[in-house]
A = this chain, B = another copy of it.
């Protein structure tokens, strides 16, 4: 019997194993237009934490007792729709389970790029699109800009670093711990701040960017956002992508440098990558080009087996991943 992860209870603060339960799902025979997919790779992403709360947001909350959703790559094993045939590799949102039965309209064949299929859950998927659109469109970063990106060793942040370097920017990344920092440096970052050992973050950032920053790509919120405000140059643009800092505990953000918004005419713009879904062709074109030029590298942190999903997800909030966090089914 296919299995899927459901929420057993809405997490209070940090998610714990007991918040999740593995259930049997009787997917049954296919109706016309449906496709059966054997999932090979499952994604865990920080935004999923928001869906675990019973709060109206830009995506509806997960229902208790129902299979959760999330990005997945799998192989078609049975099709009742002419657009798909057994053996097709597809991308879809029926993750958190080993087998998905979905209408054909909710499946996408993997674009023809010379990369591993699981990359379409990371650098060539939603996290990569987040990096690309956030940096180039929301923050309008351009050649010559000085860019600061937090969580620079993560799936989104590491792609921001590489796109920024490919486009001729100066890049400062932050990450936690020597190994992650070394990896960010190896991606081409001009400076890397280990936020776990740097002491005052505004001071460390000021030292790394003596002339200030033009762009901040925020994956973290909190003290990183405050440090970015502290060193923002005139007309700086902040792309506000994630605030992993507050996803679990809902605590208030304390900003000491917020008034610099005014003097420096800073623009802070929140965004959601799904608003850019219709522009996939531009993304694949540019990313494919940088890939061909050898300008893109990626790292994966892989957990094995459907049973490991909760552990992989919880690891996102404890710094457990370098690059994209994935589960291989």
Tell me the A residues contacting B by CB distance below 8 Å. 50, 57-58, 221, 240-243, 246-247, 250, 252-256, 258-272, 275
Contacts and interface: CB of A to CB of B under 8 A. Distances in A.
Nearest to A57: B263
A256 B262 contact: no
A315 to B, nearest CB: 21
Contacts of A272: 262-263, 265
Nearest to A251: B256
A203 to B, nearest CB: 16
Contacts of A260: 270
B221 A263 contact: no
B261 A270 contact: yes
Given A240-B262, A262-B241, A262-B272, A256 B252 contact: yes
A263 B275 CA distance: 11
Given A58-B264, A243-B258, A267-B269, 9 more contacts: A50-B263, A57-B263, A246-B259, A255-B255, A263-B272, A264-B270, A265-B272, A265-B275, A266-B270
| Centre residue among A241, A246, A255 by max chain B CB count within 10 A | A255
CB-CB nearest 9 A-B residue pairs: A261-B270, A262-B270, A268-B268, A252-B254, A58-B263, A252-B256, A243-B259, A253-B258, A267-B269
